[in-house]
Amino acid sequence: MAISEKPMVEAELLAIEEINRNGGVLGHRIEAVVADSESNDDTAAQRALQLIQRNKVRTLLGCWTSACRKSVKPVVEKQDSLLIYPMAYEGIESSPNIIYTGAAPNQQILPAVNWSFENIGPRFYLIGSDYIWPHTVNAIIRDQILTLGGEVVGETYLPFGTLDTARAVKDIKATNPDVILSTVVGSSNAPFYRALREADLSAQKTPVISFSIAETEIQSFPVADIAGHYAAFGYFQSISRPTNLSFIERFRRRYGEERVISDVVETAYFSVYLWARAVERADSFESAEINQALLGVNFDAPEGIVTVDPVTRHTWRAFNIGQIEGNRTLRIIWSAEHPIRPVPYPPSRPADRWEAFVADLYNRWNHNWVNMETAVSSGGTP
User: Which stretches of the chain bind other proteins, using CB under 8 A?
Assistant: 106, 110-111, 114-115, 118, 143-144, 146-149, 277, 281, 296-300, 305-307, 309-311, 316, 319, 336-341, 343, 347-348
Whether the CB-CB separation of 334 and 322 falls below 8 Å is answered with no
Measured CA to CA, the distance from residue 339 to residue 352 in angstroms comes to: 27
Q: How far is the CB of 296 from other proteins (least distance, A)?
A: 7
The per-residue DSSP string of 309-324 comes to -TTTSBEEB--EEEEE
Nearer to other proteins, 130 or 309 (CB): 309
Nearer to other proteins, 73 or 277 (CB): 277
| Residues paired with 155 in a beta bridge | 126
The SS3 of residue 205 is coil
Measured CA to CA, the distance from residue 324 to residue 227 in angstroms comes to: 5
Nearer to other proteins, 215 or 309 (CB): 309
Measured CA to CA, the distance from residue 355 to residue 139 in angstroms comes to: 12
What does the radius of gyration of the chain's CA atoms come to, in whole angstroms? 20
Whether the CB-CB separation of 231 and 134 falls below 8 Å is answered with no
- Within 8 A by CB and 6+ apart from 333, the residues are 230, 321, 322, 323
Nearer to other proteins, 115 or 157 (CB): 115
Q: How far is the CB of 145 from other proteins (least distance, A)?
A: 9
Nearer to other proteins, 13 or 340 (CB): 340
Q: How far is the CB of 143 from other proteins (least distance, A)?
A: 6
Q: Dihedral of CA 380/108/333/6: which sign?
A: negative
Nearer to other proteins, 222 or 350 (CB): 350
Q: How far is the CB of 343 from other proteins (least distance, A)?
A: 7
Q: How far is the CB of 291 from other proteins (least distance, A)?
A: 17
Q: How far is the CB of 316 from other proteins (least distance, A)?
A: 5
Nearer to other proteins, 62 or 207 (CB): 207
The per-residue DSSP string of 16-45 comes to HHHHHHTT-BTTB---------TT-HHHHH
Helix (H), strand (E) at residue 82: none
Measured CA to CA, the distance from residue 205 to residue 211 in angstroms comes to: 19
Nearer to other proteins, 165 or 307 (CB): 307
Measured CA to CA, the distance from residue 186 to residue 162 in angstroms comes to: 9
* C-alpha distances out from residue 300 to 79, 169, 176, 266, 317, Å: 31, 42, 43, 12, 11
As to burial, measured by CB atoms within 10 angstroms (0-12 exposed, 13-18 middle, 19+ buried), residue 284 is middle
Nearer to other proteins, 173 or 349 (CB): 349
Q: How far is the CB of 284 from other proteins (least distance, A)?
A: 16
Q: How far is the CB of 298 from other proteins (least distance, A)?
A: 4
The per-residue DSSP string of 278-304 comes to HHHHHTS--HHHHHHHHTT-EEEETTE
Q: How far is the CB of 146 from other proteins (least distance, A)?
A: 4
Q: How far is the CB of 160 from other proteins (least distance, A)?
A: 30
Nearer to other proteins, 81 or 108 (CB): 108
Q: Are strands 230-233 and 320-324 parallel, antiparallel or unpaired?
A: antiparallel
